[in-house]
Copies of this chain bind each other. A is one copy, B any other.
Amino acid sequence: MNKVGFRNWRDVREEVLRRIHSREWPPGQLIPNETHLAEEFGCARATVNRALRAVAEAGLIDRKRKAGTRVAKQPTAKATLKIAVIRQDIEERGMKYGYSLLNCELRRPDSTIRAVLRTHADDDVLQLSALHLADDQPYALEERWINLRSAPDANAETFVEISANEWLLANIPFTSGEIGFFATNASRTDAESLGCEPGTALFALDRLTFDGDKVVTKVRITFAPGYRLRAEI
């Protein structure tokens, strides 16, 4: 319990991580409270708090008022994915970005889409599909429905020069979203657009975007064969 004299919260965090990693503080164990650690480390309690908060965010400890801080039994590995604009994604890989609008029209959606977008029965929605290219090869197919009540300005856009993906991000604010990843066998039209055989396993995602409780847009992005979504833990 000697004072060590750590200078900043990162040092404290590293020391805490070391103790967890070395099993000096084994999984499930209650660790000393902030005041004790501050004394031991020779710093202010706020500094210890900052460090422990960071470790807690990483999922390695669980903190509860009164109950204290425990080393997590099963550190929940959290992978943070940056969902970038597709163009950015491609350019970061050092490839040339290309874009091609396949279809764009106002439609009266079926009840499934209507339910998802939370539109009225007599609302039209903008439905479009487009292809994103990397080095002139198909990269991803974008199929999108835009709720014109949430994004009325979209009606004035042709989406020929700029993809809906980028236009929406730049022009329509959103507050939250849901995203789901899955695998799907290429349909005949998928295969045609992406230049692969029907039945090929394709990585795809569905994303639903909200502005408050209004649905802005629903999009499905189906990637060309071989796509991998990477993340770090």
Contact = CB atoms under 8 A, between A and B. Distances in A.
B77 A181 contact: no
Contacts of A59: 82
A166 B201 CA distance: 29
A229 B74 contact: no
Q: How large is the interface on A (under 10, 10 to 19, 20 to 34, 35 or more residues)?
A: 35 or more
Nearest to A223: B183
A112 interface: no
A182 B181 CA distance: 9
A213 interface: no
A173 B23 CA distance: 9
A177 interface: yes
A200 interface: yes
Contacts of A79: 80-81, 83, 179
